Structure 1
């Protein structure tokens, strides 16, 4: 018994720290907080701008594109900055406070109608929000790799994190319309047009998000970080050098692009699919979209056990294949008139698809600390901020790509937004977006992840060797 305890202490002294469930929940609360704020922005800001604030949809679309361009420039600057500096409150966790407070402020101001219709005000608040979000999100991603080197603990940490992230997604997707009705009881539809109700709703979500960021700050302890002398020469150019010389990072980056493009395409098509292909109601759309998150509450807690049983790659293969099967079921059900009248079958297919997508795309975040360790093993510097800035660029690139594809496909098939019913060719195009294109992207993702070489034995050996160097 004493030898076992001494061995555990020895491992912890070498960076293989064990994390309590409270620490895992504390870290996961950071992702829940960011989802409460940014998912609200992602799902509802365009509606607010066009229907309440008074912006033209085309003008708002251009603004959203410009903000993404700003992100591409800003993300690597933030990654470099956090790697080079060591704030008194913590190298990475400090930004949960330093960035979280202005993030909350800008989020609330985005839904304030004091300068109704002012494009300048919209730009200032939305760009400010996006920059503050990066100032929280990039260090938060790097914080993951600073808590422990233990791959089993990283797996547990990621499963709790993604469970809580999906709690945030549900709280926003299904909760915002409910809260709006509380603040605007005269509104009979799902979406209030009252600017005061929107402002109060975002104030509520923003304040809860800030409280969760502070809780995350209180529970995280940075134990695996480089000395300031080893990161003082970090520069933006290291981003490119890291990408060129870190093969596992390149593989993960391409997986991120593919996975987020797949999610963006499928999510954008959901409302069109229910309305025009199935003739469903708003309530049925709510259930369909809600099933995109619900499997997380069943399967994310099971990830450590599943991974132990089938291995890292085996888990990716299984759940990517499950997602493809779900998409094939959606396609088949939608092509057979006798089947598509039964929404229960559609829900079952959506649940199967979402199960595969959630587990595969959720666990990919556990690979980020691994590619950070591989870079440290290769060149001696643990530049977590830069690596997370890189992954941020690639997942935003995937989302941007996924945002373009639906519009192009709908234009190609002759979709008419004024028409109550669409042509069979237009319905087929919507089905491509829901099932066919995402399935192709998932097959590509399966090939990409097959090239990933850092299995658990390899990464554990790398981490032990890194710790022995430091000793």
Structure 2
């Protein structure tokens, strides 16, 4: 064995494991699965509730807020439970199955119109879905940090993961209108108003997602985890202590809320924008929503190289500014009648916006293992579940804005879900949701990420120090 091989073996012994491409794809399939379910909820549930199920937009907005408040209580409970327990199927990966099955069931029930207009049924199914999603997503996020300490491997893992997550986004953005059309070929609008077609569509997406969660489970190996004795005293209050003492985690948490709020607001408005502002067809909606994911297939594989050239922070700056440019283009095009008739210009603007959003918000997941390691370096415990519960609270808070803000804005501008033509004010409100509000949130995200200080060199030194402590015990 030569010196290079010896060095590689030594690094793996210290937790710097190398990951095969199959392992990366296997792990990434978990994000693909979750996106098939939750992106459908993010992009289309508000539309289903207002246009098919029969809820008032303001009522739906309040429900989205209530569900997120419940998440604030539920997420830390899940994170604490996950850190304290070691199921036979794996400390983190077991929940892909234990939570995945009920998640699929609730996702399908959310799009069942058997109790049309019933607010109670909507609450029960949406709350159930959100709680099951947490039961999958928090351990899945912690699983990321359990595979390796190597920042280069985590960058590779994240690029594959986000590539596959955007496969899910593409399958939802472009695929949902197409699948709905298959089940409801008589529908002339951009999205079906037929409740049965929505149920069948979500059934297909949910079952495929569950099979992918099983595949993720089969390919994930947990190798960087704390001993049971070191986590048996984890408690819910540790979430607050971690937030107070872990500055990089605080910065990342606030970046999460602004980034997810930006994405959720824009995603929720997409169907309204194409339908009422541009009077587009189902095919045009499919292309527009699909362009929210297509740039991932070009740029996500390039992330390791881009990061080496411009650095972590430089990469965030470049792509967040690109997203701002795309949003500005979208607004200008939509305000000029002669331009908004040119759908290809709308597609170009959407592509540019999505390129910036996808790379910046995709790579942010690679920072989660870093803040977990920083916390372990500071207080000696690798409480991955707690950290992911905290980031989960913030990204769900962002998702809550994605549900609350569109509903409130639509109510404020007098959106009428029974009318095929909306007033000028209602169309302007939809445009605020597509471009203006996301741009404001994006500018705030740029400021927040500028405060993040964990460079690759710093985090590598932290991880080596942690492993040295373990070997000295």
Output the TM-score relative to the length of structure 2: 0.91
The answer to which of 43-52 and 196-205 deviates more is 43-52
Equivalences for 1:323-334 in 2 at 5 Å? 323-334=323-334
1:295 paired to 2:310: no
Report whether the alignment pairs 1:232 with 2:267.
no
Between 1:76-85 and 1:111-120, the stretch displaced more is: 111-120
Q: In the superposition, relative to structure 1, how do residues 442 and 107 fare at CA in structure 2: closer, same or farther (>3 Å)?
A: closer
* Shift in alpha-carbon separation, 1:210–1:275, aligned structure 2, 3 A: closer
Contact 1:276/1:421, CA 8 A, preserved across alignment = yes
Is the Cα–Cα contact under 8 Å of residues 90 and 222 in structure 1 kept in the other structure? yes
Alpha-carbon deviations, 1:268-313, whole Å to 9, x = none? 3434444555454443333222211111111111111111111100
RMSD: 2.6
What corresponds to 1:66 in structure 2? 66
Structure 1 residue 134 corresponds to structure 2 residue 134? yes
Q: Which moved more, 1:181-190 or 1:28-37?
A: 181-190
CA drift at 1:131: 1.3
Change in Cα spacing, 1:283 to 1:300, as seen in structure 2 (3 Å) is same
Counterparts of 1:73-88 in structure 2, within 5 Å, are 73-88=73-88
Structure 2: how far apart are the matches of 1:366 and 1:469? 24
Partner of 2:89: helix, strand, or coil?
Answer: coil
Task: Using the TM superposition, give the Cα deviation of residue 105 of structure 1 relative to its aligned residue in structure 2, in angstroms.
Answer: 2.5
- Once residues 350 and 410 of structure 2 are traced to their aligned partners in structure 1, the CA distance between those partners, rounded to angstroms, is 22
Is this contact kept in 1: 2:104–2:207, CA < 8 A?
yes
State the shift of 1:411 in Å.
5.8
Once the 2 structures are TM-superposed, how far is the Cα of residue 170 of structure 1 from its aligned partner?
1.8
Cα distance, 1:57 vs. partner? 5.8
Summarize the Cα distance change of 1:452–1:164 in structure 2 as closer, same or farther, 3 Å threshold: same
- State which drifts further: 328-337 or 288-297: 328-337
User: Where do 1:26-175 residues align within 5 Å?
Assistant: 26-49=26-49, 60-112=60-112, 119-175=119-175
Q: Separation in 2 of the partners of 1:282 and 1:178?
A: 7
Cα distance in 2, alignment partners of residues 210 and 252 from structure 1: 29
Distance verdict in 2 for CA 1:333–1:107, change over 3 Å = closer
Distance 2:192 2:112 in 1: 14
* Corresponding residue number in structure 2 for 1:398: 398
Q: Structure 1 residues 429, 115: CA separation in 2 closer, same or farther (over 3 Å shift)?
A: closer
* Distance in 2, Cα, partners of 1:364 & 1:94: 25
2:421 paired residue number: 420
Residues of 1 paired with 2:68 and 2:25: CA distance?
Answer: 30
Mapped contact 1:276–1:422 kept (Cα < 8 A): no
CA contact (8 A) 2:50 2:56 kept: yes
Q: Is the 8 A contact 1:333 1:345 kept in 2?
A: yes
Q: Which 10-residue stretch deviates more, 444-453 or 114-123? A: 114-123
Q: Equivalent residue for 2:220?
A: 220
2:55 & 2:428 partners in 1: Cα distance?
Answer: 32
Deviation at 1:174, TM superposition (A): 2.4
Deviation at 1:374, TM superposition (A): 0.3
**Structure 1 residues 36 and 267, CA, compared in 2 at 3 Å: closer, same or farther?**
closer
CA distance 1:118–1:327, shift in 2 (3 Å): closer
The whole-number CA distance in structure 1 between the counterparts of 2:431 and 2:117 is 37
Give CA deviations for 1:156-209 in whole Å, capped at 9, x if unaligned: 111111111111122123223333444455656554555554443333222211
Counterpart of 1:459 in structure 2 is 459
Q: Is the 1:159–1:363 contact (alpha carbons within 8 Å) kept by the matching residues of 2?
A: yes
SS in 2 for 1:311: helix
Alignment correspondent of 1:374: 374
CA drift at 1:339: 3.4
Deviation at residue 210 of structure 1 after TM alignment: 1.3
Unaligned runs of 5+ in 1: none
Per the alignment, residue 268 of structure 1 pairs with 268
Change (3 A) 1:430 1:98: closer
- The alignment covers a number of residue pairs equal to 470
Measured in 1, the distance between the counterparts of 2:95 and 2:464 equals 29
